[in-house]
Amino acid sequence: MKSLFAAALASLAIAAPAAAETYGNLGYTFVNTGDANVGAVGARLGHKFNPFVGVEAEAAFGANDDSIRVGAVPVKVKLQSAAAAYVVGFYPVSDKLDLFARAGYGTAKLKASALGVTAKGDQDGWNLGAGGQYFFDEKNGVRAEYTKWSVDDSSSDADTWSISYVRKF
């Protein structure tokens, strides 16, 4: 099965016209962990090898905290930072609209504070997402997406929704 997938990707790379491009994004991500809703400002750098296949790296930093209750104790939850790398498959609907799916691996640093005590932790896991991007002109556009962050060794996953500005270089 892996060799079939690799052969399919290779045939797309060979059959597709050369249209390599590099792009960057800057936007906001809403993160729902099931217990807390936090937000982050993130940046992404990507490269499309052809119209169908690319890679992305992203980094985000916490922008909005949440307060939850554990029993009677209020707990402040914050996403300190997150980073991930992805392989991306694109489907060009038109010269201005792309749909995409992406899969990758990432890490997130979290902080929780209550009653003067602070706990920090890292969560690593596989991520899977999909979305679309629309370009207003040759260089500028907007992107919306959903990504599921799965956490290794845990049943805690996070649902993320992002909106961002896209700039082709």
Structural domains in the chain, sorted by start: 29-168 (2.40.160.20)
59-136-94-27 Cα dihedral, nearest 10 degrees: 20
Contact yes or no for 48/73 (Cβ under 8 A) = no
Could you report the per-residue pLDDT of 61-91, keeping only the tens digit for each? 999 888 888 888 889 999 999 999 999 999 9
Q: What is the pLDDT of residue 139?
A: 96
Q: What is the pLDDT of residue 17?
A: 53
Q: What is the pLDDT of residue 69?
A: 84
* Six token digits for residue 81: 């930072």
